[in-house]
Amino acid sequence: MPDQFASDLPALQDSDEALLAGFAGGDAAAFTQLYERHERAMYRFLRRSLGNDAAAQDLLQEVWLAVIRHAAAFEPRARFSTWLYGIARNRLIDHWRARRDTVSLDQEAANDEHGAAAPIEAIAAGAACEPEVRAMSRAEAAAFMAAVEQLPAPQREAFVLHAEAGMTVEEVAQLTGVGRETAKSRLRYAMVRLRSAMEPWR
């Protein structure tokens, strides 16, 4: 039993939450580990949310600066990834508010209720909606990116949080401040639209 407990310690010590606590306590290497773990997925989240590389790079820096500034305020009972993407979402909202053509993340698309009602579990397995699972040609990847960018803002947010941040429906709902069914609906319609957009590549 003691040996088994000891073997679990490295995993616990290397958790995101433990690394953030280490960084807050002065361990700069812990921040480097966190950054290397989450930087690429965070960039993809911002890039797919904004559709603009330069803006995504700017917000990426802002997000990690916010992590540095607020590391000591992190509540250990929360998941680091949820906290991290909460910071990113707030930066995105600030970014969109500063633009004239802002689309509210809380505004549902007017035609959502007319979308196909396939169960989310059946849609999620579609290869067209999981580009990292299989190799894509450059043209196919570009088409997928364009399809993601054309999603209504609430659907795009739900999809990217699910696909890039690996969040469950419950976590997406919690982060975006909506009910579970609303989050599930947004993700379902996003996947329906993406499957339709990628149909020519199937």
Percent helix, strand, coil in the chain, to 5, is 70, 0, 30
pLDDT in tens, 121-179: 333 333 344 444 345 567 777 788 888 888 998 999 999 999 888 899 999 999 999 99
Summarize pLDDT for 22-35 with one digit per residue, the tens: 999 999 999 999 99
Residue 113: the pLDDT is 36
The pLDDT score that the predictor gives to residue 198 is 84
Cβ contact 160:148 at 8 Å: yes
Q: Is the pTM above the cut of 0.75?
A: no
Q: Is the pLDDT of residue 109 over 50?
A: no
Q: Which domains does the chain have, with CATH numbers?
A: 2-97 (1.10.1740.10), 112-201 (1.10.10.10)
